[in-house]
Structures are given as C-alpha cells and as structure tokens.
Amino acid sequence: MRRPFRYFHRHDYFDALPDDLVVSVLSKLSSSAPSPSHFINVLLTCKRLKRLALHGLVLARAGPKVFTVKARNWSESTHRFVKLCVNAGNVHACYTLGMIRFYCLQNRKSGLALMAKAAMKSHASALYSLAVIQFNGSGGSKSDKDLRAGVALCARASLLGHIDALRELGHCLQDGYGVRQNIAEGRRLLVQANARELAYVIRSVSQSSMLPSRSSSLLTWHPHRYQNSPCSVDSSVSSPSNPEVHQPNWFLREWFESGRGVLAEGLRLCAHIGCGRPETRPHEFRRCSVCGKVNYCSRGCQSLDWKLRHKMECSPVELWIEDNGGVVVGGGGGGGVEADGEGGGADVANNVAVG
Ligand SMILES: [Zn+2]
Ligand SMILES: [Zn+2]
C-alpha cells in the first residue's frame, strides 16, 4: 500500500541522515539528558537509533544524570548499560559503578579500581570517596588506614571544587589529623566551604524560582518526610552541595534502607542523610562522643549532620554521671565524635564546651 505523501517524506529525511550526524546529536543528548529516561527512551525508538545511541562516542559523553538510577530499579540490564559506558571511558560511569560495586555489591577490588580510574581523570567525587576509604581503611582492617593519603586525595578534590573535600580538609588541618596542625588555615577552609555551599543553595533557589514548590522544599526542613530515617531531608531534593556529585550516595542509602542490600550484623550506615556509606567492618566509623548513638564516616559528614539535624537530637542524658549529688556532662555539646572501639579516641570537629 502506498504511504501518505507527508509521512513518506518525513521518514525518508531521517533515513537519509548520515550516521555521524545522528551520533553527534545523540552525544549532545546523552551529555545533557536531565534523567536516565530522557536518554534510554531513544534506545527504544527504533533499531537504528538504538545502534547509534550505543556508539562509544555517545556513551563516553553521557552526563552524570544519565546514571541517576534508583536502587529499586537496579537490574542486570542497568548494570550492563553502565558497564558499556565504563568501557567507553565515561568517568561518571566509572565513579557510579565503582561506588555501587564497592559498597553495595561488596566487590571491593573492582569498585576501588573503577573509582581510581575516575580519579586518574580528575573526577572530584571519586577522589573524595577514595579519601574517605583511606581515612577509614574501608574494605580492610584498621591498620589499612592511611591518613596522609586521605588528606592528599582531599586536597586534590578540593582544588577541583568539591565542597565536602574542602570541608574535610579544613577539619583535618584544624585537628592535625593526617597533616600538620594549622588551626587558622583549617578555619579559613571551613569558612570557604560554608560560603561555597551557601552560594550553591542560593543559585539553586534562584534557578528554581519558576518552580515554587521545589524552591520552597529546598528551604524547608520536613521532620518526618524521609521514611525509615529519623532525619528529614526530602529525598526528592538532592544535597545542597552538588546534586550530580552526590547521586551515588542517595543510591547507597536507598539500597540499604529499602532492604535491597542487607548490612551484616553490627555494621551501620553513616548517620548523615546525604552520605549513605556503610561500614565495611564493625566499629569502623566514629561515633558522637556526647550521645554515642550516631556514627559518621568522616568529619565532614559529622559537621554537616550536626548543623542539619543532630544538634536538635543529641542528648548527653545517658552519659550523665551522678557525682556527689551533682551532674557531670560527659563530652562536648557540639557533636564531638570519637573513634568507636578502634583506639584513637580523639574528639574531632565542632567540639563546643557545654556551659
Ligand atoms: Zn558519611
Ligand atoms: Zn550525639
């Protein structure tokens, strides 16, 4: 049967487009797609688009938002797609798959290798994640901690503009942790990190001013919206620091809190809502020295969680010691953290004496 005239011509124009031109358009799409579905839907359109969308050049340029997969949607085919992007040399894919393999799939060696691959190409989040692994000796024993390597990785990530790395470096300098103590320089970096974070939040709010519901949710703290967590960030809103950088962290939290992944007996998640890193051995993370109820993978996470949530909840009640009828408060009121059962015992960030 003869096709209607207009349809015939439209169809013909697409078929006549050379492959390299279509690949160029698809590369632009993959680098700017605001969500995985905006790119994946192209694969489902027709055989030719599927073939060209899986071209190495297109996959290598895919932006971080193409990998914002939810933990509940993780499947063999998703894993295969991310692996294809890794093989095409995509750094965001290397970092995302590295985090998922290291923390969720317990494939530590492969996860580390992928994160290292991204770090070699100056991926700031990969550098910071490797720093957290070095600080904690994650995936190994306590003796695998390498504080100096952690500080060096943080320094490199902060030079690339990673706010959490800058904050971590500030705390390390302030406390002399893995580096010679320099309180003034540490404070300067902490002020810089806070200023950058504030600038990011203001920019996010101004960009979303056309969407009143989203901008108001960025500014409002909802105490009970986030299920299965005492903390309260709207899970649809990314961390203020950088939504792209922190996506794998949301994946980790969702993975363990949804029950998709099960933490071994005695292991805990970092208490900061935007982190999601789990312990890889018992007592790996430091705990709050005041209440002893929450644990953190890093000084940066502890400091952020203190500001966002924990200062409202931290209570030294269980540490009060009756002393001749008087009451002694055991610890700093500013959310000091101490090593939990692993020696060290040094209080870290934000120790503020209680009255
Ligand atoms: Zn953390
Ligand atoms: Zn506490």
6 CA to centre of ligand 2 in angstroms = 69
268 CA to centre of ligand 2 in angstroms = 15
What pLDDT band is residue 203 in, cutting at 50, 70 and 90?
confident
337 CA to centre of ligand 1 in angstroms = 13
227 CA to centre of ligand 2 in angstroms = 21
What pLDDT band is residue 45 in, cutting at 50, 70 and 90?
confident
Closest ligand to Cα 300: 1
236 CA to centre of ligand 2 in angstroms = 26
Q: What angle do CA 6, 7, 10 make, to 5 degrees?
A: 90
User: Residue 198 pLDDT > 70, yes or no?
Assistant: yes
Closest ligand to Cα 292: 2
User: Residue 55 pLDDT > 50, yes or no?
Assistant: yes
pTM of structure:
0.78
129 CA to centre of ligand 2 in angstroms = 24
306 CA to centre of ligand 2 in angstroms = 8
Closest ligand to Cα 274: 1
User: Residue 20 pLDDT > 90, yes or no?
Assistant: no
213 CA to centre of ligand 1 in angstroms = 28
User: Residue 325 pLDDT > 70, yes or no?
Assistant: no
E strands, 291-338, where? 295-296, 321-323, 326-328, 337-338
> Of 24-38, 177-191, 204-218, 248-262, which range is least confident?
204-218
169 CA to centre of ligand 2 in angstroms = 22
- The rounded mean pLDDT for the chain is 80
At a CB cut-off of 8 Å and minimum separation 6, what does 294 contact? 271, 287, 288, 305, 310, 314
Summarize pLDDT for 98-113 with one digit per residue, the tens.
Answer: 999 999 999 999 999 9
CB 276 within 8 A of CB 246: no
166 CA to centre of ligand 1 in angstroms = 15
Closest ligand to Cα 269: 1
Reported as type and span, the H/E element at residue 287 is strand 286-288
pLDDT for the residue numbered 98:
97
Structure tokens at 208: 């979303």
Closest ligand to Cα 289: 2
CA of residue 142 relative to chain centroid, distance: 23
User: Residue 244 pLDDT > 70, yes or no?
Assistant: no
DSSP 25-83: HHHHHHHH-SSHHHHHHHHTT-HHHHHHHTSHHHHHT--GGGG---GGG--HHHHHHHH
335 CA to centre of ligand 2 in angstroms = 6
305 CA to centre of ligand 2 in angstroms = 10
92 CA to centre of ligand 1 in angstroms = 20
Closest ligand to Cα 138: 1
132 CA to centre of ligand 1 in angstroms = 8
pLDDT for the residue numbered 209:
63
99 CA to centre of ligand 2 in angstroms = 28
What is the residue type of 90? Answer: N
pLDDT for the residue numbered 229:
36
